[in-house]
Amino acid sequence: MGDLASWSERRSALRVPVRGVAVFYAEDGAMHGTIENLSSSGALFSVVGVPFEESIDVELKLGDETGWVSAKTVRIERTARRWKIAVQFDRVDPNMRAAIDGAIDHALRAAQRRPILVIDDRPSRRVNLATRLAARGMTPLAPRTPLEAIDLLTRTQLHVNVCLLAPSFGQSVDELRALVSDSFPWVTTAEISDDVELTVDRALEAWSGTDVARIANGIA
């Protein structure tokens, strides 16, 4: 029973990386931001300005779900171009509560699956790489088309944070890396080489530095 209670407490406090939109509402208007991470009890947002009120209403969009929370600001940090605002929830819309719980569950599953996106036009090397990644406890995702690759990267529930790249889809590695970094800045890229085992080592090293990997350490 003690272990179950301890797990419940850790899960409640666990902050998971998510990609979503936030809109802060105050008397002087609305301000947009993005969700950096969230837990059952609070969230961290990246915004261009700072709301003046300590208590705020926030509209959140997580995947296809949209809902409301009332929150209290507990920490504000200045970054190079934006602000980071940590809040504690006072009230959560029931639909948004279900979305937050779902996001936490997806992050926990991703921490177990360890997804790696493999973009490589050479079928034999792609298959070899996927086989070795799976043998090392990863879940390789090998899209065959650019649209499939974008679809996998935009599925927030998959938590794809590492992408292995070789010249593909008529693009060089540098061009692919630029496309990924521009549209998915949270994704770490690594180059695929003919030394497949070395490429696997690069993938594991890259994954170990992701926010999802830190979740695994947090619940160990």
- With cut-offs at 50, 70 and 90, classify the pLDDT of residue 55: confident
The answer to whether the beta carbons of residues 183 and 175 sit under 8 Å apart is no
Q: Is the pLDDT of residue 40 over 50?
A: yes
Give the residue among 104, 90, 109, 119 at the shortest CA–CA distance from 13: 104
**How high is the pLDDT of residue 5?**
44
- Residues 129-148 have a mean pLDDT of 94
Neighbours of 39 (CB within 10 A): 18
Distance in angstroms (rounded) separating the CA atoms of residues 113 and 216: 11
Distance in angstroms (rounded) separating the CA atoms of residues 11 and 16: 10
Burial of 107 (0-12, 13-18, 19+ CB in 10 A): buried
The secondary structure of 169-214 as a DSSP string is TTB-HHHHHHHHHHH-TT-EEEE--S-HHHHHHHHHHHHHTSHHHH
Distance in angstroms (rounded) separating the CA atoms of residues 28 and 45: 19
Question: Which domains does the chain carry?
Answer: 2-107 (2.40.10.220), 114-219 (3.40.50.2300)
For residue range 74-131, list pLDDT tens digits in order: 888 888 778 888 999 999 988 889 988 888 888 888 888 899 999 999 999 999 999 9
